[in-house]
Amino acid sequence: MRILLIRHGQPHIALRPRTTRAGFADYISAYEEAGLSPANLPPEELKDLARELDHVFTSGRPRSHQSAAALAPHAELIADPLFVEAPLASPPFPLLAMRVSKWAVVSRILWHAGFHPGIEKPRAALSRAARAADVLMARAGKTGTAALVAHGYFNWMIGRELARRGFRRTGSHQARYWNTVIYERKDDRDKS
């Protein structure tokens, strides 16, 4: 069984603007709606890996869905909100201005520390990651390979769950667009 966890390509939005807390809240919404940047196509080695795929899961978010279509135009795309990114909330620091990437790090730390006003809590996201692993494993059990084009942090959460279930990882989860991590496990039928 092989599961490919692929981060989407670069979204069509400014990536490093400096903003305030209120501006970061607006940025989160704009980022969620942004599609794939037309200049950011999948690398050739990833396209070669995707040639064998007949189905690809996505979160349905524009950047995820369009990335999957660019990567595997021959495959059936299966959009499922189960695979959306673990959410972020704008931190309560009204006087600060910094780059959105720094706001995202602060927001993620605060999310784990208990700041999740009106958004999914970490425990619920971990439960969702376990369900996502179930879906991917079921597909890989039928076809040998499952692929997901989704989001960096949630892919990492799914990867942790797959490792807990005995999958071996090739590659590492990074904040790079098109980052791909492969999880493999011998099927129980192969162990005899």
Number of domain units in the chain: 1
Residues 80-127: pLDDT tens digits? 999 999 999 999 898 899 999 999 999 999 999 999 999 999 999 999
> b vs e for 138-177, b when ≥16 Cβ sit within 10 Å of the residue's Cβ?
ebbeeeebbbbbbbbbbbbbbbbbbeeeebebeeebeeeb
Inform me whether the pLDDT recorded for 66 exceeds 50. yes
Domain range enclosing 51: 2-191
Quick count: other Cβ atoms within 10 Å of Cβ 17? 12
Inform me whether the pLDDT recorded for 15 exceeds 60. yes
Contacts of 146 (CB under 8 A, 6+ apart): 1, 2, 3, 4, 55, 57, 136, 137, 139, 140
**CATH of residue 36:** 3.40.50.1240
Angle at the Cα of 70 from the Cα atoms of 59 and 50, rounded to 5 degrees: 85
